[in-house]
Copies of this chain bind each other. A is one copy, B any other.
Amino acid sequence: MTPFKLTDELVLEIQLLIDNQKDAELLSLLEEVHYADVAEIINELNPEEATYLIKLLDSDQTSDVLTELDEDVRERILNKLSAKEIAGELEELDTDDAADIVAELPNEIIQEVISEIEDREHAKDIVDLLRYDVNSAGGLMAKELVKVNENWNVLTCVKEMRTQAENVTRVHSIYVVDDEDKLKGRLSLKDLLTTATTTHIKDVYIPKVDSVNVNEKPEEVAKIMSKYDLEAIPVVDEIGRLVGRITIDDIVDVIKEEADKDYQMAAGISQGVEADDSIWELTRARLPWLFLGLLGGVCAAAIMGGFEDLISQHALLFFFTPLIAAMAGNVGVQSSAIIVQGLANDDLKGSISQRLIKEMLLAALNGVILALVLLFFTWIWQGSFITSLAISVSLIAVIIVAGIIGTFTPLFLHKRGIDPAIATGPFITTSNDIFGILIYFTIAKMLLGI
């Protein structure tokens, strides 16, 4: 398979075809293109061209295209479609994707769009899904699933399943429920292929099935599904009734978004922006963290001002402040990142005090090695052994403290129920800069006996 590659030439060709209304050529050009790739093309078009293309293509292709578009592009296209046209797209989509699109529509047209959906069962399911918090299992799940009653026999079951499977893109498991719709277990597809057709469901189903509550957080659902290698998981309400199903493709998106968010947080970028967002959006995501850095820098300046009397005799000390600040920052980020990652992956064992002791030993080991190298270098370079020694000894202290702050902060935030990822990046760098410089000058002053 040669992966699809979006090129400027292709976009230009399509724009030309649209301008000249060459519908037949457009259709044949895009016929074999996957909807995810069509979405990439449409993201590059202006709203008029995009809408033209959406209206031209068949709605079983365009509905999927809509789900893959950038949010702002989708909004502009939906603005140009009638309620009936939008309903036509929703008709083709799975309930979870349809509900996501409906949730983005302006309030005043939602009712009209829903009323235009011909399949009333589908419309009802979409409305049901709108009630759930987007940040929960309920907000992720779809209503499409194959379920059978434990009191049926296999014959009824297979007949029912054929009907249900028509509406389900991917059949993963067949869920078994009782008369009150409570989830009892599952029938695997493999069982279906290998079991005789005369048995009763009650006697063949597997009474053990993993499920999640509608209120579970998406990250937790992702952890459960990836830990237990599940491709779909049923969702139950507070009293155990089967209300929906989450599939692994949605979870892959959750995992990627979580990873992107943590990465950006560590880099001092908030709000999940992308490189192609506007300068204004990028500024809003970046400026707050830069202000934090500015504040930290001013504090550092104030601290150094307090040691001004050292400057005439020991200017060398001042030359090494960037080094001290950088080391404090680097060590802090290293320590916090590994804790944040351990917390995210649930593979952190032992108590906080054990962690701190380990980090202290680690920092001390690294600190001594680095300090010896630095001592050797500054001594040769500047000739003053006592100043060089003061810088190196302070460096060890700074690295140990930075390691402890970097370890303790995310653990503390996590205990308090705050996302520890916030403690990585600028936050830890800035506080470590300040503490580092304070410790450095204090120790150096003591050692130099001034």
Query: Could you show 15 A-B contacts with beta carbons less than 8 Å apart?
Result: A168-B190, A171-B190, A255-B259, A259-B262, A268-B334, A274-B338, A282-B338, A289-B330, A290-B330, A290-B331, A298-B323, A302-B319, A305-B319, A311-B318, A330-B426
Q: Which residues of B contact A424 (CB under 8 A)?
A: 267
Segment 375-402 of A: residues with Cβ below 8 Å from B = 377
Q: State whether A226 and B210 are in contact (beta carbons under 8 Å apart), knowing that A287-B366, A358-B279, A366-B283 are contacts in the complex.
A: no
B275, B322, B342: the one contacting A322 at CB < 8 Å is B322
B3, B297, B331, B370: the one contacting A326 at CB < 8 Å is B297
- Known contacts A1-B210, A311-B315; can you find 16 more A-B pairs with CB under 8 A? A34-B228, A165-B193, A166-B194, A256-B345, A264-B337, A267-B333, A274-B342, A275-B341, A275-B347, A276-B349, A291-B370, A293-B330, A301-B322, A301-B323, A321-B321, A326-B433
Query: Is A244 in the interface zone, CB < 8 Å from B?
Result: no
Question: What's the number of copies of this chain in the assembled complex?
Answer: 2
Interface residues on A, range: 35 or more
Closest B residue to A234 using CB positions:
B1
Query: Is A412 in the interface zone, CB < 8 Å from B?
Result: no
Nearest chain B CB to A438 CB, angstrom units? 11
Query: Is A325 in the interface zone, CB < 8 Å from B?
Result: yes
Q: A294 touching B259 by the CB < 8 A rule?
A: no
Q: B273 touching A338 by the CB < 8 A rule?
A: yes
B268, B290, B325, B348: the one contacting A275 at CB < 8 Å is B348
